[in-house]
Structure 1
Amino acid sequence: MKKWIRVLPILGVAVLAAGIGHQSALAKKSEDSVIADRIFIGDVAVGGMTDDEATAAVEKYVDDLADEKITLTINDVSVEATAADLGLSWQDTESVQNAVAYGKSGNLIARYKAKKDLENEDKVFPMPLVVDQEKTTAYLEEHEGELNRDAVDYGLTRENGEFKIIEGQDGIVVDVAKSVDTIDESFQAGWKADSTIELVAEVSKPKGSEEELQKVKDVLGTFSTKYASSASGRKANIANGSKKIDGTVIYPGDEFSVYQTVAPFNADNGYKLAGAYENGTTVDAYGGGICQVSTTLYNAVIRAELEVTERSGHSMIVNYVDPSADAAIAGEYKDFKFKNSTEAPIYIESYANGTTISFTIYGQETRPANRSISFVSETLSTTDPGVKFQESSDAVGTISKTQSSHVGKSARLWKVVTVDGVEESREVFNKTTYKASPTIYAVGVSSENPEAVSAMKAAIATQDEGTIRAAAAQWKNAVQQPEQTTDPTQDPNASQTQPADGTNQAGQTDNSAQQTQPADNQSADQGTTAQ
């Protein structure tokens, strides 16, 4: 009995010790699953949290960043995206595991040191973030129009007789794939407020420089033509075309196209209806008169001795320059193009004041001062345009002029070079053939008298002016017609008709642009050519 009494206290102590040990183990296990105080994951304080609690806290923090702004920039161009736009998220839970284990793993010395460090400062574990590749790619592609830009070449403007240089601008094209990687890498260290990320782009440099443009100071060639007598629509078109070319800078080796610069020919681009050549007749077309612009520029270009790469003459003669000194524009099948064949930039200055259009080409003069050039037109042959009579729905006896004639010509242009006033060379520069275009009269054949109609049609078929006028006089009163206000047997415009060879009644050449010589342009499929 005494033996059992002695054993019981010993068993009690053992049971108590076991209980205490079990509670201690449970407490240690609980302590090991809780993150120590003063520990952060990024900006999130996770001290006192379990693994799951810390994970939830970090995820909420990242979710709350959805509307935060991120500036994406290239040079001086930028756009603002949100974290949601880029699909920003947190996927690396290793930092939570490291936070839980801090001060509880490693040898005794390491654990002791970690705990002592926490007494003096916070421990911050990284919060690496990632972007959604597809969302970020889509965002950049959607905003390429804002981020990308073409290079703007250095330019010139001329004010009060002085040149001013306009600084160029780099061209930018975003490299989307590399930029997505750059954005992703920038968030590997975690979130930063007011983030600005420089995107990856291909940068193209503008043409020219201040040094290069400072060479532009000499007049290389200049030319003017008159258009005072043109109709208002034609005047407006000449002014519009002149303005579109004025101020152009062409760098060495570059080609200039008049058509590409002044087209399209429609009201939206500032053009009016005016006379134009089409299939040997004169019609109204948008841009009528643009050929006087190209022709005037052509004459300045050849005097600057730049390389002409494309030039076409008109289908019919024009009277604002000598034969074979013109340059027609008609759609894309007739264009005037030239190349800057000098070693310095050139600048084109133009003005149109309602009576005169002028072009001046500036550059760096390298030709000898004692050398000069001129261009001489030579007419090789002429073709009489004749007269053409056409039926019209007007009353029998009515004859009206609908188109003036254009003499057909074959001509060539000579380039003459003199040195110290002595002719050094003379060579054919170009040749041009112009079609003849007849004077056209509309002859009325409308009548209630079948015999009168038949007689007039028979007379028109002869194309003999005397026969037609005689028939008109004979059959005018065959059936009572409303009294005509003009003499139907005479050309009502006869007193205004210019001689077919382009001279006035005093025998002098009229070099101004006439309304009967439309300055035109139209598309190639219409066959319309500007004068």
Structure 2
Amino acid sequence: MKKKVWAGGVFAACLAVGVLTAAPLYTGAAELPAGLTAGGQDLGGLTREEADQKIREYVSSMENQKITLEIGDQSVETTAKDLGFHWSNEDAVGEAVGKLTEGNLLKRYMAARDLEKEGAEVKIETAVDSGAVETFVNENCSGLAGAAQDATITRVDGQFQITPSAKGVVVDIEATKNALDQAMAEGLDQPVQVAAVVTESDPKITTEMLETIQDVLGTCTTDFSSSGASRSKNLQVGSAKINGRVLLPGETLSGYECMQPFTTANGYATAAAYENGQVVDSIGGGVCQIATTMYDMALYAELEITQRQNHSMTVAYVKPSMDAAIAGTYKDIKITNNYDTPIYIEAYTSGKKLTFTCYGKETRPANRKVEYISETLGYVDPGAPIEKVDNSMAPGARKRLQSSHTGLRSRLWKVVTVDGKETERTVLHTDTYNASKAIYAVGPAAAPPTEAPAPVETPPAETEPQVAAPVEGVDGGPGVSAPQQSAEAPAAGPGSEAPEAAAPAPQPETAAPQSSAEVPAPQPETPADNGGGPA
């Protein structure tokens, strides 16, 4: 005889983790009539509390059943309990059973008579927990499914080498959870096997995208031949941390984020840097030359300059307004790929020269040329030197601790020509560089004589002691070789301004060199800003 179903439904999978802790559903001492079952368990003659306990024991008996999740040709095993298996329709069962033990006596009597004739089955619904399923899949299945592999690119011996991309598959958590629910709804008398639902995933960087990287978009080389071992090391270490970076369209590279932290543990040494108008020793001193070289490369590649600040004082390795400083997070060089294809940044030191090159897909016309012209607008005299008395020195002795720095104001012009005819002349930014006094250590004043000195035939001529060399690594070295460049210009970076009214056109001798030949830069008595500390 077919039994009447009191609480419809199938074993559904909802999610909840842990041991069943809900309070009993039934109260009162009335016994359930014969013929009532739940999940195949006979509840006739039991009180509501006893029926509740029997159902819980029935659900608990299924918690340790083995569940096998198949992913392709591999599989992982767990238990129903570990997936948060639990009794999910307690309220519905309680309502159905209550009709037989509580309320109107006539209705209870009629229900009991029906049970005697037909019997009734109360459906016990169970479920697993979505969060537990997701955790299980993430911890045990992600590697089995095979994540998508991005293509990678490196430059070896002047040639690009690409590791191809590969599509992958990922486990669909929600669909897999539903499949588990359906399988366990059929019962857990036997181990359950479920095939995970997977979807195909695409790599972020494909082989085809990286194959477009073939052309030199912009390059720049600066010289650090006068730098000592510590500063040279910092340039080698810092540039290596940027070398090989790939920027997808719209992505931004921060020089500071690539190179920091400036610590000995991260490979840096102590070298000279600018701080508050003075040259000081700082871990990572010299990395501002990296920022400058990257900036000039970006200018000729016509990338978007997202952030750039000049040094507090002039540097010797590039012309004014062609420099960029790094100091903490408030002075940084950030460049953004405004091309429709990826770009590759190459950075290295060789033979006391630092080189940055941007590779990508050239889209600018071959007959279009761009150059950048530094124009000095005025100078500021540093004034009289500062003297610091050093009592350990001989009276009248004098030693230079820091050279003077002439301040100046300058601006940078971007000039574009097509077939040799000028089509654009724009001021990118105007910069101010502080003046700084020379600093000397001097011995204490000589004590006045207590008696007249013995006469001498010829008094010795006063001579000033030999001036000491500047702090190691302060001289930035000569010149900058002009970056190579080719065509169409994106918008100028932040800080651009229109040319000042009636401003004279810069003279050719102020232009940055436009060939790969090394051209000496002006050599004021100015140390190179070496970064690492406030510029």
Q: With structure 1 as the length reference, what TM-score do the two structures score? A: 0.61
Contact 1:151 1:169 in 2 (8 A): yes
Report 1:23-42 matches (<5 A): none
Report the Cα distance in structure 1 between the residues aligned to 2:470 and 2:239, rounded to whole angstroms: 34
Q: 2:336 aligns with which of 334, 339, 346?
A: 339
Q: Does 1:373 align with 2:348?
A: no
Which residue type is aligned with residue 258 of structure 1?
G
Which residue type is aligned with residue 417 of structure 1?
V
Report the Cα distance in structure 2 between the residues aligned to 1:422 and 1:521, rounded to whole angstroms: 42
- The equivalent residue for 1:521 is 532
User: Residues 204, 424 of structure 1: CA spacing in aligned structure 2 closer, same or farther, 3 A cutoff?
Assistant: same
- The equivalent residue for 1:51 is none
Which residue type is aligned with residue 490 of structure 1?
P
- The equivalent residue for 2:274 is 277
Residue 500 of structure 1 and its aligned partner are, at CA, apart by 11
User: Residues 389, 198 of structure 1: CA spacing in aligned structure 2 closer, same or farther, 3 A cutoff?
Assistant: farther
Residue 325 of structure 1 and its aligned partner are, at CA, apart by 0.6
Report the Cα distance in structure 2 between the residues aligned to 1:227 and 1:173, rounded to whole angstroms: 53
Structure 2 SS opposite 1:252: coil
Structure 2 SS opposite 1:394: coil
Residue 303 of structure 1 and its aligned partner are, at CA, apart by 0.6
- The equivalent residue for 2:430 is 431
Q: 2:357 aligns with which of 356, 360, 368?
A: 360
Contact 2:271 2:473 in 1 (8 A): no
Residue 312 of structure 1 and its aligned partner are, at CA, apart by 0.8
- The equivalent residue for 1:457 is none
Contact 1:225 1:512 in 2 (8 A): no
Residue 263 of structure 1 and its aligned partner are, at CA, apart by 2.3
**Could you report, residue by residue, the CA deviation over 1:164-184 in whole angstroms, capped at 9, with x for unpaired residues?**
2552777979868x7655543
Report the Cα distance in structure 2 between the residues aligned to 1:497 and 1:266, rounded to whole angstroms: 19
CA radius of gyration, larger in: 1
Q: 1:137 aligns with which of 125, 131, 141?
A: 131
- The equivalent residue for 1:37 is none
- The equivalent residue for 2:153 is 156
User: Residues 256, 148 of structure 1: CA spacing in aligned structure 2 closer, same or farther, 3 A cutoff?
Assistant: farther
Residue 317 of structure 1 and its aligned partner are, at CA, apart by 0.9
Q: Does 1:86 align with 2:83?
A: yes
Q: Does 1:266 align with 2:263?
A: yes
User: Residues 511, 164 of structure 1: CA spacing in aligned structure 2 closer, same or farther, 3 A cutoff?
Assistant: farther
Residue 140 of structure 1 and its aligned partner are, at CA, apart by 4.4
Residue 321 of structure 1 and its aligned partner are, at CA, apart by 1.1
Report the Cα distance in structure 1 between the residues aligned to 2:154 and 2:478, rounded to whole angstroms: 40
Task: Write 1 or 2 for the structure with the bigger share of helix.
Answer: 1
Report the Cα distance in structure 1 between the residues aligned to 2:350 and 2:476, rounded to whole angstroms: 28
Q: 1:218 aligns with which of 215, 219, 231?
A: 215
Contact 1:165 1:213 in 2 (8 A): no
Report the Cα distance in structure 2 between the residues aligned to 1:357 and 1:307, rounded to whole angstroms: 22
Q: Does 1:382 align with 2:364?
A: no
Report the Cα distance in structure 2 between the residues aligned to 1:76 and 1:263, rounded to whole angstroms: 45
Which residue type is aligned with residue 253 of structure 1?
G
User: Residues 173, 272 of structure 1: CA spacing in aligned structure 2 closer, same or farther, 3 A cutoff?
Assistant: farther
Q: Does 1:233 align with 2:230?
A: yes
Structure 2 SS opposite 1:298: helix
- The equivalent residue for 1:250 is 247
Report the Cα distance in structure 1 between the residues aligned to 2:73 and 2:291, rounded to whole angstroms: 40
**Could you report, residue by residue, the CA deviation over 1:38-90 in whole angstroms, capped at 9, with x for unpaired residues?**
xxx99xxx9xxxxxxxx99x9799859748574586x9999764444235468
- Number of matched residues? 413
Contact 2:324 2:333 in 1 (8 A): yes
Residue 326 of structure 1 and its aligned partner are, at CA, apart by 0.6
User: Residues 319, 67 of structure 1: CA spacing in aligned structure 2 closer, same or farther, 3 A cutoff?
Assistant: farther
Report the Cα distance in structure 1 between the residues aligned to 2:148 and 2:330, rounded to whole angstroms: 30
Q: With structure 2 as the length reference, what TM-score do the two structures score? A: 0.61
Report 1:170-249 matches (<5 A): 183-191=180-188, 193=191, 195=193, 198=196, 206-249=203-246
- The equivalent residue for 1:442 is 441
Q: Does 1:326 align with 2:323?
A: yes
Q: Does 1:493 align with 2:493?
A: no
- The equivalent residue for 1:301 is 298
Residue 339 of structure 1 and its aligned partner are, at CA, apart by 2.2
Residue 442 of structure 1 and its aligned partner are, at CA, apart by 2.6
Report the Cα distance in structure 2 between the residues aligned to 1:199 and 1:436, rounded to whole angstroms: 69
Structure 2 SS opposite 1:265: coil
**Could you report, residue by residue, the CA deviation over 1:440-467 in whole angstroms, capped at 9, with x for unpaired residues?**
123355xxxxxxxxxxxxxxxxxxxxxx
Contact 2:401 2:470 in 1 (8 A): no
